[in-house]
Amino acid sequence: MSKADTIDALMESAIHCFSRYGYEGASLRDIAANAGVPLSTIHMYFGSKAELYTAIERKSWGEIDDERSALLSEALAKAGARPPELADLIHALARPVVRRMLGASEHDQERIFIIRGRVSDRRAQESPSFLEVADRSVVRWIDAIQLACPSLVRQDIVWAFSFVVGAIYSWQLVDHRYDQLLGQDIQRTVDGITGDIVTFGCAGIHALIERRRLAAQETSAA
């Protein structure tokens, strides 16, 4: 097996193990065995468990971010000289994740679990280089939402973005936990869930805009 094939095999095995057992629970010995290589190969190409995890975070994030970026470019091009539609931006942010989670490919679903783990547990001290890449992407989205919601200050835009990201990576989407608790077996579609997230996100952000408008009126009247 060539070096490139070996690295690919290790990363695919690592994504599989980390997505199932988490960072602490995943074993480097199992990752190497599943890839069909000696344990020492991980140390040769990645150095440590933390560096291997950072590599698969970058890979998983990159695949999703590329698709999101393409959809974002489409939304901005559609708007032309006008501000982009908030609904189009949230759709571009959500659909790549929803499509992967509802797809038949375990390969895609495992990548979402890796990214979701990063969203809920930012081990910045272990992978600052990954955060630099991810944060540059986040800034692009915040800038785009700012164009769609010019009345909001930057701090509110960051809050709005966080609000939408939380909805996208919720337990309901990732493992249908709430459906299981209620004993329901609901067939969901990519368009249906994406549409619900868009509706939820737009409603929340528009409510925030109205709240800020009313607060400004009260301040002016005082």
Helix (H) or strand (E) holding 182: none
Least confident of 26-35, 61-70, 114-123: 114-123
Fold of the domain spanning 57-221: Tetracycline Repressor; domain 2 (1.10.357)
Evaluate whether 32 touches 42 at the Cβ level (below 8 Å).
yes
Q: Where in the chain is the domain with CATH 1.10.357.10?
A: 57-221
What's this model's pTM, rounded to 2 decimal places? 0.82
pLDDT at 56 over 50: yes
Task: Determine the angle formed by the axes of helices 49-79 and 28-35, rounding to 10 degrees.
Answer: 70
Least confident of 53-67, 172-186, 194-208: 172-186
At residue 9, the pLDDT reads 93
d(CA 86, CA 206): 10
Q: Where in the chain is the domain with CATH 1.10.10.60?
A: 1-47
Calculate the average pLDDT of the chain: 86
Locate the DSSP E strands across the chain.
none
State pLDDT tens for residues 80-116: 999 999 999 999 999 998 988 887 677 777 877 777 7
d(CA 13, CA 7): 10
Domain boundaries 1-47, CATH class: mainly alpha
Please give the angle made by the CA atoms of 25, 27 and 28, to the nearest 5 degrees: 145
**9-22: average pLDDT:** 89
Task: Determine the residue type at 218.
Answer: E
State pLDDT tens for residues 176-196: 777 778 787 777 889 999 999
d(CA 39, CA 29): 6
State pLDDT tens for residues 117-162: 654 454 444 555 556 667 788 899 999 999 999 999 999 999 999 9
At residue 127, the pLDDT reads 56
Task: Determine the residue type at 139.
Answer: V
First to last CA, the chain: 74
